[in-house]
Amino acid sequence: MAKSEHIYGIHAVEAWLGRSPERLRQLWLQEGRDDARLQRLAAAAERAGVKPQRVPRTTLERLAPEARHQGVVAEVLPLPPGDESGLQNLLADLGPQALLLVLDGVQDPHNLGACLRTADAAGADAVVLPRDKSAGLTPVARKVASGAAETLPVFTVTNLARVLERLKAAGFWLYGAAGEADQSLYEQSLEGRVAWVLGAEGKGLRRLTRDHCDVLVRIPMGGTVASLNVSVATGVVLFETRRQRLLLPSD
């Protein structure tokens, strides 16, 4: 039987109740708070057959230590991320302007959550993570993602190099972000099926991952810092892709 976990934060719990209310086990709300957002969460939980419990703030802090719980903690049975076969099925259903984000070993759950939130906002179709050396969908990542972890397909794969080859076979052009690359982001024509590949904090892309990219590009920097946080870089490349596609003529 799957092990339950605690998620917290209004957006994360709200998104969970919208997608998988049947997997809710408990909902704790802070005593003395009766604002509209918590009322909506309580009503959604009751529709799912779970009676919310009003508890002191100290109880929530014990359930979600060192977290900004915003007055709500839920116990849920987490949905496992998709695997390689699920990704292959998704690829067959995606259109000619599909957009994917591949994260090569992002180990900070705050960064992972921020990347998921940005990918969802930019209209990405899915996010791919390696099973090893990656933060995974922890409660912290879910909280920072503000609901995107519950709505955006996330696939955890055992062999990232093999998956990159499958993306190529499915018609994706693989763009790797690397600060030392010769080509600029703003020199690229980002039409068609695109997968952006970004590396871990500090180390960047691993060599084997770099070798599988069709082209490496850099984000032109105008200041003195040498690089961007991976979640910020994700936002820059994904929204440049989206900007270009908004300029495409409609059918």
Of all helices (H) and strands (E), which one includes residue 10? Answer: helix 10-19
74 near 50, Cβ under 8 Å?
A: no
b/e burial code for range 167-196 (CB count within 10 A of at least 16 → b): bbebebbbbbbbeebeeebeebebeebbbb
Euclidean distance between CA atoms 198 and 210, whole angstroms: 10
Strands 72-76 and 5-8 come out as antiparallel
Residue 199 is labelled as binding a ligand: yes
Residue 10 is labelled as binding a ligand: no
Q: Which two tokens stand for residue 141?
A: 């990542």
Euclidean distance between CA atoms 114 and 234, whole angstroms: 9
Residue 7 is labelled as binding a ligand: no
Q: Which two tokens stand for residue 132?
A: 């090893």
Phi, psi (degrees; rounded to nearest 5) at 246: -70, -20
Phi, psi (degrees; rounded to nearest 5) at 154: -120, 130
Measured between alpha carbons, how far is residue 187 from residues 5, 113, 241 in Å?
A: 45, 29, 12
The annotated binding site is made up of 199, 219, 228
Q: Which residues are annotated as a binding site for S-adenosyl-L-methionine?
A: 199, 219, 228
